[in-house]
Amino acid sequence: MPFHRHISLAFAAFLVAISLAASPARPSVFGPETFKLANGMQVVVVQNHRIPVVTHMVWYKVGSADEVEGSTGISHFLEHLMFKGTERHPEGEFSTLLARIGGRENAFTSYDYTAYHQTVAKEHLALVMELEADRMTNLHITPESVETERQVVLEERRQRTDNDPRSILQEQALAVSYLNYPYRRPVIGWEHEIRALTLGGIMAFHARWYAPNNAILVISGDTTAKDVRPLAEKYYGVIPPGPVPQRVRPQEPPQRAAREVTLRDARVRQPALSRSYLAPSHGYGKKDHTYPLEVLATIISSGATSRLHRNLVVRQGLATTAGAWYDADRLGPSRFGFYISPRPGTDMATLEAAMMKEVDAILADGVSNEEVSRAKKLMLASAVYARDSVSHGARVLGAALASGQTVTDVESWPERIQNVTAEQIVDAARAVFKAEMSVTTRLLGLEAPSQ
């Protein structure tokens, strides 16, 4: 096993500190090379020469939050249909060719982007570029394939959402967490609107958003920008740019009332409680709070010595699990949330009071310098470990760029985390943890303890 797998968190943080000190004006996580094609397509290359493999990703700056009202799920539906083939490569040929060379492929849709990726031996990079560039403009979809894939998407929705009480509750909670912003809609779409999507509407959506000047090509692995540029120009550079519309998103109005969502379901075996607050992101709101909130989430939720686990699981024995979440990588407003599940015999009212006592303690007393230092070590170590993976750099950079950030934002992340203070953390918490911006969810069985 390589040595780097055994290094301590302190030593990992020390390595990052050295890189920052050595080049304070240009801190580095992945050290990417970047250039832009004449048609406007952005290209990012992350070198990783550990093994002779490359990950090839195309990110389109369109996701479910860009959909027109009444057509929820069209981004995700199109993602499925992108595998249906072109005139040059009929349905199934893309995947067959990838399997033949031992490659892996997949795709995913989120609120702010849709991404397609392949991991192959480096000598096959030209092939995946040719295939991906072909379906950017030459997608061939028949009415029959739309109907077939519609059933696949509906079954996916049944399995992942409708048959899972936690997912049902999450979907309902998102619908009230945002009063106006399109994150309130499910990425997969509402069932009745999935059923109403048409071939014409899907192809118009493809023509509207799938263009090289609305895409980011990210390649990581055993290659260089010098090797990638001629291939990118050959396969993607010949595609004309399109009249891509601006991503006009509605603003979220002031939130003035706390909301509660409770789901009782016979399938629930483990009750759960959460409280989330509308929060800024790197693309929305008071961005100065994002890095302190990231550190706070680590303090609260990362590891056995984190606040919630130590106090609610270990010391008081009220919960089986407790933690927090926060995602700053959004084009729109994010959420900062707390979650907890009770041990048998703990009623939900007691559990909620204990969780909120921890939140109130942060607001009243802040966090200690020791907690901040420990969280930074964990987070800076993650920046070191992120360099190990062939694909991780492509995923981080692609998601950031597709949601409005820059390469500099990603590369300067360690420095910005290192500069966070305990005072900034409590200021951010006080700005975000306000009752009127909160949504409380309760997942209960039919015979669950009282609320």
CA proximity to 65, closest of 244, 177, 187: 187
Vertex 372 angle, CA 368 and 374, to 5°: 115
Helix (H) or strand (E) holding 209: helix 199-209
Q: Which among 33, 67, 69, 79 is annotated as catalytic?
A: 79
Q: How many residues does the chain have?
A: 451
Strand-pairing partners, residue 319, are 342
**Residue 19 φ then ψ, to 5°:** -65, -35
CB within 8 Å of 21: residues ≥ 6 apart: none
Instruction: State the DSSP code for 139.
Output: B
Q: Are 279 and 432 in contact (CB under 8 A)?
A: yes
Q: Are 72 and 245 in contact (CB under 8 A)?
A: no
CA proximity to 29, closest of 11, 55, 47: 47
Tokens of 170: 């999450």
Kindly calculate the radius of gyration of the chain based on its CA atoms and give it in whole angstroms: 23
Active-site residue 79, yes or no? Answer: yes
Amino acid 62 reads V
Strand-pairing partners, residue 220, are 46, 55
Which residue numbers are catalytic? 79
